[in-house]
Each structure stands twice: as C-alpha cells, then as structure tokens.
Amino acid sequence: MKVLHLISGGDKGGAKTHMFALLDELCRMCDVTVVCLMRGVFYEEILKREVRTVLLEQKSRFDLSVVGELRRMITEEGFDLLNAHGARANFIAARLVKKTDIPVVTTIHSDYMLDFDSFYKKLIFRSFNIRALKKIKYKIAVSDAFREMLISRGFKPNDLLTVYNGMDFNTPVSPMGRREFAEKYGVPYDEGTVYVGIAARFDRVKGVDLFIRAAADVLKSRDNVRFVIAGDGDEKEALTALADELGIADRVHFIGFVKPVYDFLNFIDVNSLTSRSESFPYSILEGALMKKPTVAAAVGGIPKLIIDGETGFIFPPEDHASCAESFICAIDSAGLRKRLGEALYAKASTEFSNRALAEQYLENYRRFIAKSKREKRYDLILSGYYGFGNFGDEIILSTIIRKIREDRPEYEMAVLSKDPDGTAMRFGVDSCSRFGVFGVRKLMRQSRVYVNGGGTLMTDVTSTHSLVYYTSMLNMAKRMGLKTMLLANGIGPFRRPSNERRALKALGRVDVMTLREKGAYDFIKERLPDARAVLSSDVIFTYCNGSLREKLTASPAQTPFGRGEDYCVISLRDFAMSGPGFENAVANAGRRICEEYGLRALLLPMQYEKDLRVCESTAEKMGGCAAVLPESFKGDRIGVFAHARFVLGMRLHSLMLAAALSVPIVGLSYDIKIDRFVNENGLGDCFDVKTLTEEELYAGISKVADGRLPDSYPLFIERVGGLCEQNSKALFELIDEDREG
C-alpha cells in the first residue's frame, strides 16, 4: 500500500508527536511519503527521520498551486490513499476529493472549533477548515471523545474511525535518581513518604485545583504523603493561594516545568490526571512507561487505558472526594501500587504502542479503501422500535450492532429511528428518521437488506398504525429490490382479521424470518408453510449471559437505595385493559414481600414516557419500602437488574433481561408474548393483569423471593444460547447471498 501524508510542516505539540510515533512504524509496514506545505518545526525535524519527505512550499495558506502537483504525484506514483493532518492540509486535500479516485482521509487531532484564537483566524481559517471537513468524507479521530464530537456536529458515524495515540515502549529511558531529583527541585525526601504527582499546564481544563482539593482531603487522615505538581501557567498564583487557603502549602510542592518528564515520573509513586476534559493524553502513556499506578478522571479516552481497580483508579470528573479515596487506596499499599503499575505497563505496551498505532491506521486505511469501492453504501438497514426511549428495544439494537461489528466488521449498516441524532450518538452508526419518506427511500436505494430487528412488530395490540408502518416498510423494501428479514421477532396477536391478513401478505414476501417464540414459529408455519422461517431466541440472550452477570455483580449495584441493599425490581406499564384493582394488587403484594424478606422495591420504567405514571402511583401505594428509578439515573441499568433478588415484570424485556442474567422472574401478562416467554420456557408463574388479585400474586412472588431459580433454568439457558446463533447465521447468509448474487 502507498500512502501520502499531507501536513503543513509547522505543526508542533500533540499532532507532531502523534505523527512521528505513527510514521516511525508505518514506514516499516507500507510505502509512505510525507508532503509538507511550509518550512517549520515539523518539517525540520522529520528530515532527520527515515521517511521520504517532499516540500511543496505554499506562498500563503490560500496558494492552490500545490493542488496540481499533488494530483500529479498521486496519479503518476500510484498512491492508494491520501491522509491530511490539520487545517492547512485539509484546505488543500478537500480540493483533491473530486480530482482523484483514491479515498481522502483527515486525522482529527483536536477540536477544530478551538484551533484558532484570534478573531481574524476564527473568521477566516476556521471557516475554511469547516468547509474542507464537510468535503472530506473519511475521518480518523484520536479518541472516541473526538469521534463523538464529530457525530454531534452532523458527520456520518460510519465514516469516522478512532485510533488512539501510541508510544515507543522499546527505547529505554534513563531518568534522574529520586534523591538527586528531590535535591534539584527542593522537595523534602524520605523513603517512607509516598509522593503523589501531577504534570500539567496550569489551566482550568487540566483540573490542578481538583488535585489540590483531593490532596487536602487525603491529608486529613494521612501524614505519610507529599503532593508534587510539575508545570506552569497563568493560574499558578490562584493554585498556590488555594493550597494556602486549605492549609496544606507545606505538603504541596510546585516545582515548575520538568524536562524530561521521565525524571518527574521516576520520582513520584502515584501519577494522576485530574482533567475536566481530555482526548487521550500522552501523559498517561508516559506514566505507563514508568509503571506508575495512575489515578485519573473518567474523561475522554482515558478509561480505555485506566481500568478501575485493574490498571489504576478512575473517578468521576470534578469529584475531588472520590479522587482522594483513590489516592488513599494507592498510598496505603505498596503492593497494590506495584501491581497496578505493572498491569498498566502491560496493557499500554500491548494496546497503545507505536506499532499498535500504525497497525490500527493501516487497518483503517484498508477499510476506507474498501468503502470507496463499494457498490452499495450499506449492507443492511435496521428497523424497529428505536429512538423512543424504550430500554428493552435499545438493548436489542445495541446487541445487534455489537454482534455484527464483532463477527462481520466489514458490514456497513444504518438504523431507522425516531431520534436519528440520538441513535447516531449513542450507537455510533448512521441513522435516518423512520418517518422521513424521502430519506428512507434514499437509504433503501443505497442498501442491500432491510431488517425488522427484534421485538414484536407484526401485531395490532400496540396499534393498527404501528402494524401498517412495519408492513408498509417491508413492502417498500421489496419493491425497491432489497432482500427483507425479520430478525428475532415475535408475531401477533391480531385483534382484527383484516390486520392479520395485512401482516400475512407482507410476511409472505419476506426472504427469511428468525422467530423468537415457538408460538410465533408455529403460527407462521401453519399459515405460510413455504416461508423460510427459523426458530430462534431473542437477541438479548446474545448479550446478557452468566459471564456478564458475574462481571456486573462483582461489586454492589448503584441504586437510589445506595450500594449493597437487598432489593427487587418491579417493571410496569400502563395498559387500558388492566383490572380495576391491578395497581393495588401489585402494591399490596409487593409491600408484604418486602416486609417479610427485608427488601426494598425499585420501580423501573422501561419507557419513561409511557411507564412513569403507573410506576410512581404504585410506589406511592407501597410506601417507604419503594422508590422509582429516576430518568436521570447515571448508573448501569443492566447492573441494576443483575443485582435484584427477583424481577416482577410486565414489560417483556424486563423479564428477558432478568432471565438472561440468572435472576428469578414473575410475569404480569397483558399480551400473549409474555405468556409465551414465561410458560414455554418453564420460568415460573405468569398472571393475567385483567384478573390479577393480591393473594395470587403474593403466592407467586413468594416462590422466588429468596432468589432461587426454577429447576428448568439450566436447560432454558442451554437452549436459548444455541438458538441465538440462528439469528446472526440467517442474517449473514442473507447479506452474503445478495453480495454474491
């Protein structure tokens, strides 16, 4: 592969470091040429490296004479891809997009809205860069945070890939000795003292004030520690004043800018990064090289490397108290510091080395080249009840996307959603409004396969309008030449014979169906015996399984009750045909169980817009033993299910999620799909909401209130695990058939 890199030539700082780390390794893997547009720091230093470098000097930023020369080089030398870096290079690269037949890529090294400081530069250079970025289709972000930034600004997620910074872990460093360092920088040295440090510029975004506040919290209970701050900046006076105000000035040492930074890192025992915002800073890689345990804020790409309790400690941004708790854990155990430091080095040197950086770039180049040659932009369109804020359907979508990316990363997909911007941000996939007729038709013209992904979409219980939508979409896809599929769907019931006929007419044209319930499978085989139908299970069982539960339950769940409290989950929905005493029956039976078994009840709306009223009303009837999980809850909702003693569920996916996580269930049936899931799988009791009584529900819950699973559970898990594979197998076969056909 021949790759042409285009850069201004005056770059310095993070972009220069990133490029040199990349080029040193990439040159060993493919044919690389670098073109600089001016003489500067980058150009002068790259001439000392073993990479072919060409200077095409511009007279000014707006000198376009170099475009023709670059086009000639690309054509005559046979380059496969052009990778631009920075605003000046983007300005030129954008003019080559339609003048060459190779993919043009740009690497996003920073927030381009913050790249220029003066009014003139913002007005002119930033504006031109934004226009250039809109023309350059393919982009590489140096962190997931930057990728999410680009998505939030309207760029297509499918054309954005991430490559994290790398570092040279092979070249040894020879730092200054610890005692010598202490003498040089005036830090009292004692082998029994633990030194906690941070190296950062004194700017609010770096959060050095948070570091000082955390130091004050630590020093309230520990006296064997000193805090060392390396750096400088405009906020130095305010930071020293803060240390004085907190009464810790004698234990906090400002030592100024340190070069090389490895002298500083060798001296300290614990490294830290308390930033309010970051991409993926080199400082944590530098600390990893020195095997220093690291305490860092969970911002940007930092959690990719710092895994809480495994390679360091992570704390919520701005939370200096949590930062202090992590400092204390590291201060109190030399063995823990050693273990974390070695684990950090092992992870960083494997996943974030210069070689790993170059390999990721090369893989992304291959993907961009393949994308540029595709006949169809998308392999599949996913359609379902997406973008409505329904937790169960969002898990379905997440699982389908994850499975495809793991098994067939070359597949391109798009999602129809009520909230396309939210779906694009949350799942990192191209999305289109499910109600935009022209947009949907355009998407279908670019696609191979249309998939109704998960849920019971072929029913009129929700509404006739919903059924009309999904049947119409299937019919439109067939008219436009797409193959169609139902993926892990349920079927029915139908209240109106005309709606059943409508559904069967559309289903008769579907290429393949995987059906998550035996009842649905039997229904199709009886009415459409020639249909290509396969019995499967819900995709949620692909994602949620025993190993996930073990991981989730390794530490107490975060809930409104705090950590470590025994609780059950109750998931309800408003249903017009529920019996008049339904809420009272649930509230009274639930309260009795909570009192008898010492539990709290967590009312969990799976879809807040539709479930909140009935959950709040029932919780109020239950009194002090119940609370509603707020919509603003920031914890892991799946983890909340995993820690529950049992789940009383009316929403199907509350029951499926619990069962997949080895949590006992009791069903509240408003629809045949609830009965089918609970009864066909022998998972316990299921009660009709139209006739529910307090006593029968109390008796049913009593069977599972101690957390025991039914004897049939192991066979159920074994069966659904095997059936899950039918979903992806059928989908991949269908896409491959279309590709080959």
**513 neighbors 532 (Cβ within 8 angstroms):** yes
Q: Is residue 365 part of a domain?
A: no
Q: Which is nearest to 414 in space by CA: 467, 389, 385, 451?
A: 451
Q: Which of 125-134, 276-285, 290-299, 326-335 has the lowest mean pLDDT?
A: 276-285
User: Measured between alpha carbons, how far is 373 from 103 in angstroms, rounded to an integer?
Assistant: 9
Give me the domain span that covers residue 602: 545-710
pLDDT at 546: 56
pLDDT at 18: 86
Residue ending a domain, among 517, 536, 555, is 536
Q: Which is nearest to 625 in space by CA: 567, 585, 539?
A: 567
**594 neighbors 561 (Cβ within 8 angstroms):** no
Residue ending a domain, among 496, 512, 536, is 536
Q: Is residue 724 part of a domain?
A: no
Q: Which of 106-110, 112-116, 290-294 has the lowest mean pLDDT?
A: 112-116
Q: Note whether 557 and 638 are same-domain residues.
A: yes
Q: Note whether 393 and 299 are same-domain residues.
A: no
Q: 138-141 and 225-230 as β-strands: parallel, antiparallel, unpaired?
A: unpaired
Q: Note whether 119 and 207 are same-domain residues.
A: no
**2 neighbors 80 (Cβ within 8 angstroms):** yes
**588 neighbors 694 (Cβ within 8 angstroms):** yes
pLDDT at 555: 60
Q: Is residue 490 part of a domain?
A: yes
Please say if the pLDDT value at position 229 is more than 90: yes
> What ranges in 318-418 are assigned the alpha helix state H?
320-331, 334-351, 354-372, 391-407
pLDDT at 283: 86
Residue ending a domain, among 536, 561, 581, is 536
* Percentage of residues in the chain having pLDDT higher than 90: 75
Q: Is residue 736 part of a domain?
A: no
pLDDT at 55: 96
Count CB-CB contacts under 10 A for residue 563.
10
How far is CA 415 from each of CA 138, 158, 406, 681, rounded to the nearest angstrom?
A: 20, 11, 18, 31
User: Measured between alpha carbons, how far is 347 from 683 in angstroms, rounded to an integer?
Assistant: 42
* Percentage of residues in the chain having pLDDT higher than 70: 96
pLDDT at 577: 76
**592 neighbors 698 (Cβ within 8 angstroms):** yes
Please say if the pLDDT value at position 559 is more than 80: no
User: Measured between alpha carbons, how far is 476 from 381 in angstroms, rounded to an integer?
Assistant: 13
Q: Is residue 473 part of a domain?
A: yes
Q: Note whether 642 and 518 are same-domain residues.
A: no
Tell which phi-psi region holds residue 682, choosing left (phi > 0), alpha (psi between -120 and 50) or beta.
left
Q: Which of 19-33, 347-361, 555-569 has the lowest mean pLDDT?
A: 555-569
Q: Is residue 727 part of a domain?
A: no
How many residues appear in the chain? 741
CATH code of the domain containing 520: 3.40.50.2000
Q: Note whether 420 and 317 are same-domain residues.
A: no
- Of residues 688 and 17, more confidently modeled: 688
Span 359-410, pLDDT tens digits: 999 999 999 999 999 999 999 999 999 999 999 999 999 999 999 999 999 9
- Specify the 3-state DSSP secondary structure of 79: coil
Reported as a pLDDT band with limits 50, 70 and 90, residue 632 is: confident
Q: Is residue 493 part of a domain?
A: yes
pLDDT at 547: 59
Reported as a pLDDT band with limits 50, 70 and 90, residue 685 is: very high
How far is CA 581 from each of CA 79, 578, 584, 669, rounded to the nearest angstrom?
A: 73, 8, 5, 15
Q: Mind spelling out the 3-state secondary structure of 292-340? A: CCEEEECCCCHHHCCCECCCEEEECCCCHHHHHHHHHHHHCCHHHHHHH
User: Measured between alpha carbons, how far is 365 from 356 in angstroms, rounded to an integer?
Assistant: 14
**Which one-letter DSSP state was computed for residue 446?**
T
Q: Which of 53-57, 275-279, 384-388 has the lowest mean pLDDT?
A: 275-279
Q: Note whether 141 and 261 are same-domain residues.
A: no
Q: Is residue 170 part of a domain?
A: no
- Residue type for 194, please? V
Q: 533-535 and 626-628 as β-strands: parallel, antiparallel, unpaired?
A: unpaired
Q: Note whether 592 and 702 are same-domain residues.
A: yes
**255 neighbors 223 (Cβ within 8 angstroms):** no
Q: Note whether 502 and 581 are same-domain residues.
A: no
- Of residues 275 and 634, more confidently modeled: 275
Reported as a pLDDT band with limits 50, 70 and 90, residue 556 is: low
pLDDT at 121: 75
User: For residue 696, what are its two tokens?
Assistant: 């029968």
Mean pLDDT of 663-678: 92
- Residue whose token pair is 């003489």: 39
Mean pLDDT of 175-194: 95
- Of residues 579 and 251, more confidently modeled: 251
User: Measured between alpha carbons, how far is 263 from 141 in angstroms, rounded to an integer?
Assistant: 31
**99 neighbors 72 (Cβ within 8 angstroms):** no
Q: Note whether 208 and 141 are same-domain residues.
A: no
Q: Which is nearest to 513 in space by CA: 545, 474, 480?
A: 474
Torsion of CA 587, 593, 594, 596, to 10 degrees: 140
**63 neighbors 91 (Cβ within 8 angstroms):** no
**573 neighbors 651 (Cβ within 8 angstroms):** yes
Mean pLDDT of 431-455: 95
Mean pLDDT of 294-320: 91
- Specify the 3-state DSSP secondary structure of 54: strand
- Residue type for 510, please? V
What is the greatest pairwise CA distance in the chain? Answer: 89
Reported as a pLDDT band with limits 50, 70 and 90, residue 184 is: very high
User: Measured between alpha carbons, how far is 663 from 568 in angstroms, rounded to an integer?
Assistant: 10
Q: Which is nearest to 42 in space by CA: 33, 31, 32, 53?
A: 53
Q: Note whether 192 and 138 are same-domain residues.
A: no
Q: Note whether 211 and 340 are same-domain residues.
A: yes
Q: Mind spelling out the 3-state secondary structure of 509-527? A: CCCEEEECCHHHHHHHHHH
| Helix, strand and coil percent figures for the chain, each rounded to 5 | 50, 20, 35
Mean pLDDT of 651-661: 92
How far is CA 63 from each of CA 66, 88, 95, 587, 710, rounded to the nearest angstrom?
A: 7, 10, 12, 74, 75
Half-sphere exposure of 380 (CA within 13 A, CB side): 25
Give the count of domains, the chain.
4
pLDDT at 57: 93
Q: Note whether 106 and 42 are same-domain residues.
A: yes
